[in-house]
Structure 1
Amino acid sequence: MFTTLVAVIAALVLGHLAPALLSAVRDWRWFGRWLAWLQGQGDAEQGRPYLLVLAIAPLVLLVALLQWSLDGRLYGLPALLFGVLMLALCWGPRDLDRDVEAVIDADDGSRREVALSHLQSAGGSVREDMPSLVEATAVNALRRWFAPLFWFLLLGPAGVLLYRLLAQATQGAQSGQLALPARNAGDWALAVLEWPVAQLMTLSMALVANFDTVFSAWRRAGGNRWTLQNGFLAEAARASVGAELVEEAEAAELAGHLPADERYPELRDAMSVVWRMLLLWMALVAMLVIAGWVG
């Protein structure tokens, strides 16, 4: 738990202090070349659904072996440093808050187009209306922050690497290296890994925003059904942002103030909700760390 807390803080701080360095470190093109090489081996059709297993399993097993070998050595310092390194590597790969700010600050069409492509790079709607951008923010928060954090917390460095490689292979630029059978198998595996995270994110959103609004949107979008679809997360995010903006406007009216004149208030509020969700998760991890020390 302590490793998780330190690793997340380090990943966020390094992303802002040394973005160029982390951008170079988080370059997954080598994985795309590895996938392309495997894709070219053997029969063009045979075994393609299992290509991802062949591509990902050796890397994850190697990291798991290192994780096991470092456990308990030198008072846990090597394991801590290894965990920080792996989470910093698998976080992102782009920083969500910086991409949101880039969209808000874009002054001309070309800059806005580039900023939008970066914000939507990990999935979600590719349309440019505000509800679609709120959806993209929620989906990208899932794939850039919360899913890596969840699987790191559950399985350590091996877990976060498993998720990141699978996400890159099916949703990243490397997806073009996969044949359709392997990509379909990867989409299903990724949905299995993301579904519990999306459920926990929706619960967190309900706790840090308007509970009734988020809960109603979650039920309306089928979040209470046992399916691997996570569209309920985007629906809950849109409903949460809409409810919060209404509440802010009503509060400003009661106080005799004009509503704040700012660009893209929905997008700003969506990012604010994501930050509050992350702080809630980190607070829970910190409480577990303190409970472990006290116990």
Structure 2
Amino acid sequence: MNLFIVILSIAFLQVWGAANPLHKDNWFAVWADWCEALVKGNSTFAFIFAVLLPFFSIVAVQGFLLWFSPWLLLPLGMLVLLYSFGRGEFADIVSEYTKACYIEDWPSALERARRLGVDVDNLADNDWPTLHKHVLDEAGYRGFERMFAILFWCFSFGPAVAFLYRLNFLYSHNLRPDNPQAEKLLWVLEWPAVRLLGLSFALTGNFVGCFQRWKECFFCARRTTVAVLSPLILGALLVDDSMTQTDEVTRKELNLLTSLYTRTLWLWLAAAAVLIIVV
């Protein structure tokens, strides 16, 4: 069932693109504010109520529908999964950034970097190497959180846990970025997903360069998701992470990154189909 939900949801994404009509998050912002007011500013309980209560509500609805027919989970699962996928544009912004790099248009490059979520306020003018590193790190992470973290939890435990990941991501990145409980849970949810993705990169990219770095970070319990993901991407693309980030290198990395993620997505879908058939 989860594979059908994923395939149909991805098909809808291809039609909608960045204009996903389900990506309306005002309700969650209002709900989070109400939870915080209810517990009188206690950040821990506010986070628990804001994120976990909607998650358990979806679980309860799934259980109710399952009592009637498992096929009723298909439309609900699609709605939940489509909501859980990442927000806004991605590929177009990366493409526009590489074009700005090509003509060395610093203001345009900064504007595209901001749209990716890069903090550029403290960058010196025309500090291209630092900007490139930040953009590469952010682009890699955005590709991960938009699709692969969601698919990992959907295939593992169903769309409800993918929904939990998205709510936690929105809470820790957009609503309450200083909440330690949200940050810890997000790190826990991303820990297995990013390591499976890194192993997948070794199969869809350069095996030796990626697998060596994957072994170094597999048991690490201190690195952030970005600190784990970025070296794995560079290894899969056969790029020396100590190399000076010239404009040409950056364009190459970003262009190859899109292809790497596409190949890895097909690998995950094929592997899920095989596992379902075998099991």
Structure 1 residues 232-264: Cα deviation after superposition (integer angstroms, max 9, x where no partner) = 2111112322449xxxxxxxxxxxxxxxx9981
Residue deviations 1:183-234, cap 9 Å, x none?
11110111111000011011001111112111223345x3333446332211
Which residue in the other structure is 2:189 paired with? 193
Shift of 1:26: 0.7
Measured against aligned partners, the alpha-carbon deviations of 1:40-97 in whole angstroms (never above 9, x if no partner) come to 33444xx3222111112221111001111222645x3321111111111111123543
Please state how far the C-alpha of 1:289 moved relative to its aligned partner. 2.9
Cα gap change, 1:20/1:197 in structure 2, threshold over 3 Å: closer, same or farther?
closer
Task: For 2:143, give the aligned amino acid.
Answer: A
Number of matched pairs: 260
Q: 1:217 to 1:21 in 2, by over 3 A?
A: closer
Out of 83, 91, 94, the residue aligned to residue 77 of structure 2 is 83
- State the superposition RMSD in angstroms: 2.9
Q: Which stretch shifts more, 52-61 or 225-234? A: 225-234
CA distance in 2, matches of 1:227, 1:161: 25
In the alignment, is residue 272 of structure 1 matched against residue 259 of structure 2? Answer: yes
Match 1:205 to one of 201, 206, 231: 201
- Asked whether 1:175 is paired with 2:149, we answer no
Matched to 1:273, the amino acid is: L
Aligned partner letter, 1:34:
W
Structure 2, gaps ≥5 residues long: 124-128, 241-247
CA distance in 2, matches of 1:234, 1:140: 11
Identify the match of residue 135 of structure 1 among 134, 137, 140.
137
Pairs within 5 Å for 1:137-176: 137-171=139-173, 173-175=174-176
Matched, 1:64 2:59: yes
Q: Give, as a single letter, the amino acid of the residue that structure 2 aligns with 1:13.
A: A
Structure 1, unmatched stretches of 5+, are 245-260
Give the match for residue 5 of structure 1. Answer: 3
* Matched residue type, 1:153: F
CA distance in 1, matches of 2:63, 2:87: 26
**TM-score with structure 1 setting the length:** 0.77
Q: 1:57 to 1:197 in 2, by over 3 A?
A: same
Aligned: 1:224 with 2:219:
yes
Aligned-residue offset at 1:21 = 4.7
1:142-195 CA distance string (max 9 Å, x none)? 211111111112221221111110011002x2236xxx4xx1111011111100
Look up the equivalent residue of 1:40 and give its one-letter code.
Answer: A
> TM-score when scaled to structure 2?
0.81
Give the secondary structure class of the aligned counterpart of 1:25. coil
Relative distance call for 1:115 and 1:37 in structure 2 (3 A) is same
